[in-house]
Each structure stands twice: as structure tokens, then as C-alpha cells.
Amino acid sequence: MNGSKASIAAINTSLNAAELPNNVEVVISPPAPYLAATVEANKQKTVSVAAQNVFDKASGAYTGEISVEALKDLGVNWAILGHSERRTIIKESDEFIASKTKFALDNGIKVILCIGETLEEKNAGVTLDVCARQLDAVAAVVKDWTNVVVAYEPVWAIGTGLAATPQDAQDTHKAIRAHLAATVGAQAEGVRILYGGSVNGANANQFKDKVDVDGFLVGGASLKPEFIDIIKSRL
């Protein structure tokens, strides 16, 4: 929940002027009031726009929610679902997130599905149990994962300056992929898994050789010029 017309226009201007790598897919996700302006301003072929939320019904008396059709009408073809702030602050359940994920996919919106553990869960040694539970809720209703990108975001590393080491991230991502393989089969190999814990321009390069870290879910650093450096780190 950041931004203004001016600041978001500046981000679009920066992205449009940058020489972005052709083999890196970028998805930017402004607050809902700025989605239309962001779609209209974007001139980069490798950049798409995502909503930060979408509802699991087509339309109706759901005041304040965002419909799939509204997103498609604007030219938005991605949604972020299951973000830790939605899970912890808004109290969205695994099942509700799964329902929203299925509805979005069934109706032509690709999904960045966020999973991850809190500090208490990390200290209790249940990181993989938490990730498995969150994934299993979606796997119970979604059989085709072609248009799902998983984002592992350790909640304890968001906005704290703390981050898992690149090897820690690789180990967790490898375990996530193995769990997916056990639940959704061979298609798990093609599911991109992003790391989302305080990634910035200074540490992004350290993840480059980690085979199961397919990219990043970038928070605060996406509001700064270093976002371009993060994108280029995937070359």
C-alpha cells in the first residue's frame, strides 16, 4: 500500500528507459487505484502488470473486492495471492486463498502464489510443514500449475533487513519443489519458485547460481532505482 500518481509514473518511466534483459520476465504490482495507469504507461514487452488481490466470484454484492473480469478489462493478467500480509492481517485462510487461486486461473489470470513461515514457525523448525500446508490447499483444487508461480517469502525476512542465505533459500526451494512433485507430479519441475525475503540490489547477485531460485518477489527495493539492478542480476 505504497505510491502516488507521481511515484508510480516515475517507476514506469524508469522501467521504460531501461535496457532490460529479454530473457527475464518482470511483473509489477501497484495498488489497485493505479493499475490502469500502470498498464497504459508500460512500454516494455517483458513487463506485465499484476493486481495485489482478486476475489473468487465473478461479480455481485462483494463491496471493495476486485473481479477477474475487471482486471482483464484493464489489461492486467497477473494477481498476487496468499501474501503473508493477507494471511496474517486480513486473516485469509489457506482454503480461501486456494479458492481465489483456482478462480483466477480458471478465468485467465496467472497467479503468483505466496507461501512462507513466520519467525515463530521458523524457530519451531516447521518451515517446510507450513509451506506444504499452504501448497496442499491449492493442490487440492488446482491440477494444472502451468500458470502458477510460487513465491517463497519467509515472513521474518520481510522489511526487516534479514534474509535467508542464498544456500538456505536454495535448500528450502528444493524442498518446496520436491513436495510439489509429490503432490502435482512432473509439472513441478517447470513451476518457477521466487525468493521473497528482503532482496535488494546488493544481495540479488548472490542467488544467481542457485538452481531452484528462479527469481525474486521484490518488496521495498522495487520502489527504488536498484530495482533495475535486481532485474539485471538474473542475466
| CATH code (residue 130) | 3.20.20.70
What pTM was computed for the model?
0.96
Q: Is the pLDDT of residue 64 over 80?
A: yes
**Is 40 designated active site?**
no
Q: Which residue among the candidates 117, 153, 173, 226 is catalytic per the annotation?
A: 153
The amino acid sitting at 59 is S
**Is 83 designated active site?**
yes
Beta strands in the chain (DSSP E): 26-28, 47-51, 78-81, 110-115, 148-152, 193-195, 215-216
Range of the domain at 116: 5-232
**Model pLDDT, residue 159:** 67
**Model pLDDT, residue 157:** 79
User: Is-contact 99 141, C-beta < 8 A?
Assistant: yes
- pLDDT band at residue 70 using 50, 70 and 90 as cut-offs: very high
- Of the chain, the percentage scoring pLDDT greater than 90 comes to 89
- In the chain, how many domains are there? 1
Instruction: Tell me the CA distances in angstroms from 42 to 38, 145, 183, one per residue in order.
Output: 6, 27, 37
Q: Which residue among the candidates 83, 92, 117, 173 is catalytic per the annotation?
A: 83
- Of the chain, the percentage scoring pLDDT greater than 70 comes to 99
